[in-house]
A and B are shown apart, each in its own frame.
Chain A
């Protein structure tokens, strides 16, 4: 592992370690509880003797163009933290993390939605948040408006919208550009049936346009259908990384072993 980085690697992690400091009083009792019963990241101490939770430990892998990675693991295994680290939100204090290209973090597509602004104003705001320039927004406006099917409602304050309408609006903006790296938390695939039938087509093309996708999900069927690579996280460490079928098989064996019927 030298300094030279293969240019076909879109996402590359080397020995990435992410720890969260715990400042609250009573961390000691928390330590006892989580350390012995939880499946979450391990609890340790940093150099200054502060309590820390190790959310990711020595995570190394890389993704090339065309890779669709599924993050698999129990609650608290570090899937969301890993997604956020790739998104650049948590900069690793140890290790090396390189990403190349425009990232679309689809964690919370309703982020920045302001109920008192009109639908059109919200589209502008959200697109700005995603890093689109005002010119790019103008260019994509027609496409976004068409997908939302909201018509005249776009001039109304968003607080008058139903939940489904808000979802359509934010989803249309979130998928209006071509990201190089698409990061998705599983919630996004949990819309109602009517929305999903339309959204699925769009997600499919969105996913195809992305050079790399990372999806965190508990739905193993979905992982198998959408992804070709799997990464099984357990308490912040990589347990298995490889072809999706193999990783899922090992994971299922493990889960069956822990909870025999």
Chain B
């Protein structure tokens, strides 16, 4: 098949005799990056839309997390016989990261099927919808950060320079979330059961991953945490927030996961990109 690609009026590949599927997929990605004014705006509008005309706006998500952190921190420190000062920052950092991950998992399924009106009316790069989605989730994540800062002030904790690790850690996490969103979005556009399956899994993941309980509690069965990829996804950001550099294990698992995630998603995208419009 030959095709000259025009994205929203921008000619990308001007008359190539043979455009491969690889070329089209790469062009899709490159064009989406260039259209950042559009996806940041759409992503931000998505947030405004959700919290429209509420006084707190996106800070409602902050309030949600804050209430959960305080409630769980108080109760679980009693259950586990740990000082609140130790457990509450742990729970808080974990929950902030988890709410980012779970929002991605739960909502990525509607990424393409929810944009049907756009996809069927105007040709835009498919990855633009992914960037829009992940961008809005990152913005919500940033709205949750103040809770943690308040907690640090309250307990007079200073995590130290290890805190800087949180930035590359979050970048790596976001890259993984971007790939996962694209894969989940495509799979869900084709198989409408997938969002339901993910919803049940997410609930289980929250309970079996050390978020509201500390991994030390597993004792000799620590593999139950170390073998869980979501533990590392959280830990790569949580450890620096708590003042520790992420462990070598976590970094290695994260890097390996990123490569795997990229390969799988790239394969799916290369093979089925052109089908998305037909599926929705």
A220 within 8 A of B: no
Are the C-beta atoms of B3 and A98 separated by less than 8 Å?
yes
Main SS at interface, chain B: mixed
- Residues of chain B in range 1-48 having any CB-CB distance to chain A below 8 Å: 1-11, 14-15, 17, 24, 35, 37-38, 41-42, 45, 48
B277 within 8 A of A: yes
By a CB distance below 8 angstroms, the chain A residues around B9 are: 102-104, 130-132, 177, 179
> From A90, which residue of chain B is reached at the shortest CB distance?
B277
By a CB distance below 8 angstroms, the chain B residues around A112 are: 118
A254 to B135, CA, bound (A): 54
A157 to B17, CA, bound (A): 47
- Contact (A20, B278) CB under 8 Å given A125-B45, A129-B38, A131-B10: yes
Number of interface residues of B (CB under 8 A): 37
A186 within 8 A of B: no
- Residues of chain B in range 43-57 having any CB-CB distance to chain A below 8 Å: 45, 48-49, 52-53
Main SS at interface, chain A: loop
Report the minimum CB–CB distance from A148 to chain B (whole Å): 20
The stretch of A31-39, A81-89, A189-197 in contact with B is A81-89
B79 within 8 A of A: no
Contact of B11 among A96, A102, A134 (CB under 8 A): A102
B196 within 8 A of A: no
Report the minimum CB–CB distance from A46 to chain B (whole Å): 12
- Residues of chain A in range 92-118 having any CB-CB distance to chain B below 8 Å: 92-105, 107-108, 111-112, 114, 116-117
Are the C-beta atoms of A100 and B1 separated by less than 8 Å?
no
Supply 11 further A-B pairs (C-beta < 8 A) apart from A91-B277, A132-B9.
A21-B279, A88-B5, A89-B122, A96-B1, A100-B14, A102-B10, A105-B122, A114-B49, A125-B41, A128-B35, A130-B8
